[in-house]
Structure 1
């Protein structure tokens, strides 16, 4: 009898160990840097499979909360404070419930405390924003949550499934932190530090005069590189100092040709023609 029980247990354990099947809504993890902030998104991805998803006759009727995914609650983590719409979120872990509607969606943000999305339904969200519901004629078979239109200080968190798409604006406010870091670093900076400082100030359109001061500390050297000189020309152009910009762009073109960098050759040629 004992022998039979042992054999049965061994058989059951073996079957359980081998019985693995793919998830109907596989999990996904995305990491994205916005400015200096790391954003990590974890969610599960259901598919349409011939069903009507949104609308009163769909899988997700209007005005009812949805976990924004499948299986467990969707998790979004921020390494630094972030601005969602006009609301500031402190760093930490969050989940969202969405309430789909024909013309707009409610996005309800909660502090992440459980994988069970039902535990959030009766709670008061940290805040709620509304975003337009965009209809498309192109079918998105499997739910996609991703980041689009990424800049140095912003991005859109995009949810797209079936024939619907919504965009949640995210923004970081790190300019003071970065400017302090620049000031500290430039007490004893290298050419690399000056270039990065100029690059940030130029791209962020914060202080073009200071950006020019920093880049010219690099380009005054005969050892300046093609991309550094080209950046000086771009800054001068944005300062409307066109004659100087054209002269510097010609130098940038010569250095780009020597470096055999086709992208910067084209960029400098285009700038010279425009100027």
Structure 2
């Protein structure tokens, strides 16, 4: 009983030590997500409040690199390459650092996005893109640092940073027109070889209309005739055989065998040889 009592005391002590007081952060975390055209953009940052303090030129000194928020560095992620100030920023995640001054800010997209605040050692080689943005005075004060997406169009948006009575906007352009044009061209061109192959395979596997499967696999093989795919030809041979077209099956199997041997695929070589023997070729 004494040992049990001591064990319970130890467990209680451990639980008390591991317990943590839950309280709100003074600079709460925020996550802002925005789709610009077809590009997904996400900002993750912490939001300090003024609390009666003078911000720019005092709490946030002019001429020094700022984490652009509080706590961990502010992060921005782009799902596509974007254009900022005529320069390309590759898709990915970046830390957003700024160097405020009275009339403009230098804005840095830093490739190392895993710092608590500013990097211990600044590395210019990690600056993926640098731009300058005008610092505009607002008629009212904003208590809490805020990141926004403004002036949204299908092809661009402005990354806004607001605090105290200052607004700074960084415009970025997204490749919407290119993506939409490519999508239109693909759809209007009709199904691709892979689409016909997948449809034919499904019909073959599920015992559906074998003549329809034969038509689709024929289109898949025709579309890839400049770079024959032995697995397409193998499937064509099986579909022809199931459709009762032994001559077509043998022809396709021979072609599949030839290209499988060229590719060094022993499995398909073996399967084709066995099928040709079965079909009396």
The 5 A counterparts of 1:108-127 are 108-119=108-119, 122-124=122-124, 125-127=127-129
Q: What is the CA–CA distance in structure 2 between the aligned matches of 1:131 and 1:139, rounded to whole Å?
A: 20
Paired residue secondary structure (2:15): helix
Tell me, in whole angstroms, the C-alpha distance in 2 between the residues paired with 1:131 and 1:8: 59
171-180 vs 147-156, greater mean Cα deviation: 171-180
Distance in 2 (CA, whole Å) between partners of 1:112 and 1:53 is 26
CA RMSD, 1 decimal: 2.3
Alignment partner, residue 157 of structure 1: 159
Task: Give the conservation status (yes or no) of the 8 Å contact 2:161–2:167.
Answer: yes
Change (3 A) 1:85 1:19: same
In structure 2, the CA distance between the partners of 1:12 and 1:22, relative to structure 1 (3 Å rule), is farther
Q: How many residues align?
A: 187
TM-score (norm 2): 0.61
Shift of 1:15: 6.3
| Alignment of 1:65 onto 2:65 | yes
1:81 corresponding residue in structure 2: 81
Report the TM-score, using the length of structure 1 for normalisation. 0.63
Deviations 1:148-178 (A, max 9, x none): 1100010000000011110000101232332
Query: In the alignment, what sits opposite 1:240?
Result: none
Q: Output the CA distance in 2 between the equivalents of 1:45 and 1:28.
A: 7
1:50 aligned residue: 52
Partner of 2:139: 137
Matched with 1:38 is 40
Aligned equivalents of 2:33, 2:162: Cα separation in 1? 18
Alignment-derived partner of residue 105 in structure 2: 105
Supply the distance in 2 between the matched residues of 1:6 and 1:84 (Cα, whole angstroms). 62
Cα distance in 1 for partners of 2:7, 2:166 equals 55
In structure 1, C-alpha distance between the alignment counterparts of 2:42 and 2:29, rounded to whole Å:
13
Report SS of the residue matched to 1:117.
Answer: coil
What's the secondary structure of 1:118's corresponding residue?
coil
Structure 2 CA distance for partners of 1:106 and 1:183, relative to 1, 3 Å: same
Partner of 1:172: 174
1:33-61 CA-to-partner distances (Å, cap 9, x unmatched) read 11111011100000000001111xx1011
Contact 1:65–1:121, Cα closer than 8 Å, also in 2: no
Q: What are structure 2's unaligned runs of at least 5 residues?
A: 192-281
Secondary structure, in 3 states, of the residue corresponding to 2:179? helix
Deviation at 1:144, TM superposition (A): 0.4
Conserved? CA contact 1:33–1:39, under 8 Å: yes
Q: Which moved more, 1:170-179 or 1:72-81?
A: 170-179
Match of 1:256 in 2: none
State the structure with more CA Rg.
2
- For structure 1, which runs of at least 5 residues remain unmatched after alignment? 190-275
Distance 1:147 1:104 in 2: 19
Residues 1:93 and 2:93 aligned together: yes
